Amino acid sequence: MSKSLVRAIQVLDCFLEQPVMTINELAERANMPKTTVFRLAGGLEEAGLLIKDRKTSHDVTYRMSLKFLTYGKHVSEQLEYNKIALRYMKELNEEIDELIHVTIMEGNEAVYVETVNSSKPVRLVVKVGARAPLYAGSAPKLLLSSMTDEELDVYLNEVELKKRSLNTLTDKEKIKEEVEKIRKRGYSISYSENFEATVGMSYPIYNYDGKMVAAIGISIPDIDHTKEREEFLLDKLEKTAWKIWEELGYTD
């Protein structure tokens, strides 16, 4: 992390102790040279993180902008759906004894933020914090489908498409076709795309205004897979997703 970024964060931290300050007060509290604080405050103002109030040429103060409310809202929502989802994940796990996971999109990757493991001798284990590219696996592909067509094109032009497993999609047009299929049916399935010898299926988690904030999925070893088992698990997963949607206020 660059020194300028660290110092900018230190400047922002000062406002947690005193909400409104002049440059002199901010420099003293941050223990930095006034010229440095002035430069950092200007950059934070330009980014929309600080508001400058000018009463006179000699009476200028700074305060945090309401943009932080937006950041806080997103963090709050993430904590909310994690907490709600985990309860239903455990219920589903008790019923089917398979790996259940919740995945979010962070940048150009999918991140597994919650998992409930199977107790079966042969099972897939995914650690919280594990990452995957958005083009490989049921949950990552589902998150990818939430992008607009323009965002998808940008992503596919930026990312290096690599084989992670037997059936990983690495052709841009085939990925676009898969995304369109997911959008139409409302869920995602993968067969040995991110992990070898596994089958994954995922449904979206929507918040109150219909935005996809995460994906909830089931992953099983392919030796346990049959078409009947797949349909059974998809039905159970859809019902679980609906319970989470309803608690988050999404009822469409």
51, burial (CB in 10 Å: exposed 0-12, middle 13-18, buried 19+): middle
Structure tokens that stand for 126 in this block? 């995914």
Closest CA to 194 of 238, 151, 164: 164
Q: Are residues 144 and 108 in the same domain?
A: yes
Closest CA to 164 of 140, 129, 187: 140
Q: Are residues 78 and 48 in the same domain?
A: no
Mean pLDDT score of the chain, rounded to an integer? Answer: 92
Q: Whole domain around residue 168: which residue ranges?
A: 73-248
The residues that bridge with 64 in the sheet, in sequence order, are 50
**pLDDT tens figures, 133-178:** 999 999 999 999 999 999 999 999 999 999 999 899 999 999 999 9
- Return d(Cα 204, Cα 224) in angstroms, integer: 24
Q: What are the residues whose beta carbons fall under 8 Å from the beta carbon of 98, sequence distance 6 or more?
A: 118, 120, 123, 218, 219, 220, 233
Q: Could you tell me how far CA 96 lies from the centroid of its own chain?
A: 26
**pLDDT tens figures, 167-211:** 999 999 999 999 999 999 999 999 999 989 999 999 999 988 888
Q: Say which residue the tokens 């323009």 belong to.
A: 150
Last residue of a domain, one of 40, 65, 90: 65
147, burial (CB in 10 Å: exposed 0-12, middle 13-18, buried 19+): middle
- Return d(Cα 140, Cα 110) in angstroms, integer: 5
Q: Are residues 25 and 93 in the same domain?
A: no
**pLDDT tens figures, 19-37:** 999 999 999 999 999 999 9
Q: Are residues 39 and 136 in the same domain?
A: no
pTM of the model: 0.71
Q: Are residues 37 and 17 in the same domain?
A: yes
Q: Say which residue the tokens 């589903």 belong to.
A: 92
Q: Are residues 186 and 122 in the same domain?
A: yes
Q: Are residues 42 and 92 in the same domain?
A: no
Structure tokens that stand for 222 in this block? 């392919």
pLDDT tops 70 at residue 78: no
pLDDT tops 70 at residue 76: no
Last residue of a domain, one of 65, 85, 108: 65
Q: Count the domains in the chain.
A: 2
Band the pLDDT of 125: cuts 50, 70, 90.
Answer: confident
CATH number for position 195: 3.30.450.40
pLDDT at site 248: 85
Q: How far is CA 211 from CA 62, 73, 158, in A?
A: 34, 14, 24
Q: Where are the alpha helices (DSSP H) in the chain?
A: 3-14, 23-30, 34-46, 67-96, 138-144, 149-158, 172-185, 227-248
Sign of torsion, CA 54 56 57 62?
Answer: negative
